[in-house]
Amino acid sequence: MVISLIFNIALVIDMNRKLKFKLKYLAFLGLALTLFMLGSVLYSPQQVQAADLDGGQNLGTLSVVGNAVLYEQPDTVKVIIGTSVLDPDVQKATASAANNINRALSALKGLGIPESSIQTLSYTIGPEYRYINNEQVLIGYRVVHTIQVTYSGPDLGRMAGNIIDACVDSGLNQVNGVYFAVSDAKLSVLRTTALETAVKDARAKADTISKILGVKVVGVQSVSESYSSPVPIYRSYDLAVTSSTTILPGAVSISASISITFYIQ
């Protein structure tokens, strides 16, 4: 009787062990299946994206560069002009330079140029030395006042000459340059036109090449553009010329370039 009871207890313990083992196995199997399904979900969008990149088709690519260069007459002129005064007395030097600039401002006002179109670019005061008998000797103080005069309107060349003549007659003795450019408003329109022309040039090249190769342009993979701002046209001026000044402006160039990679089939 006792032996039978012990046998039954051992049997129950063994069955419990087997049941626990099966439960652990099922739990491990369920965890592995869950991880597998989760990995499939996370990975599948990348596969779909790669497959849909070219619509599931084997497409080639064709890269071309379109260019455009536009020429436009400038509508703005900038004259860089100033006065340079040397005097043993620094106060006299600054006063003389100020008088020269004030006379120039009055003359510019007479030409119809408002003060809002005139700005100081630089103003410096410094000692000036010379070597006399191998010794450095202070000979005075130099004051340099440089201004920029901007004019937008008709007859740019004639007006630039009038500005220079009026300033020189007022006592200014430095002309650092005359620059012809395009205003920002006009430049924005020209830039858009240049980009449109460059895109058309790129597409025309792609169509020509694909036709020769016996393929067809079916889409665009990537686009990048570059744009070069127009460089102002510089005109020099010689103060030794005593006759009326004539400045001749030239055309300003605006260029754009665009790189396009097309899909071909």
| 195-219 pLDDT, tens digit each | 999 999 999 999 999 999 999 999 9
Same domain? 155 vs 192: no
Distance CA 66, CA 142 (A): 53
Task: Please give the average per-residue pLDDT across 69-97, as a whole number.
Answer: 94
Same domain? 136 vs 98: yes
Range of the domain at 218: 60-72+185-235+249-264
Same domain? 81 vs 160: yes
The answer to whether residue 197 is domain-embedded is: yes
The answer to whether residue 24 is domain-embedded is: yes
On whether the pTM is more than 0.95, the answer is: no
Structure tokens at 254: 């605006």
Same domain? 148 vs 83: yes
The answer to whether residue 199 is domain-embedded is: yes
Question: Tokens 């022309």 identify what position?
Answer: 197
The answer to whether residue 243 is domain-embedded is: no
Same domain? 85 vs 176: yes
Same domain? 163 vs 125: yes
Average pLDDT of the chain?
80
Structure tokens at 250: 């030239």
- Which range of 38-42, 74-78, 125-129, 248-252 scores highest in mean pLDDT? It is 125-129
pLDDT over threshold 70, residue 11 = no
CB 206 within 8 A of CB 256: no
The answer to whether residue 244 is domain-embedded is: no
The answer to whether residue 240 is domain-embedded is: no
Same domain? 90 vs 175: yes
- Which range of 29-38, 47-56, 132-141, 248-257 scores highest in mean pLDDT? It is 132-141
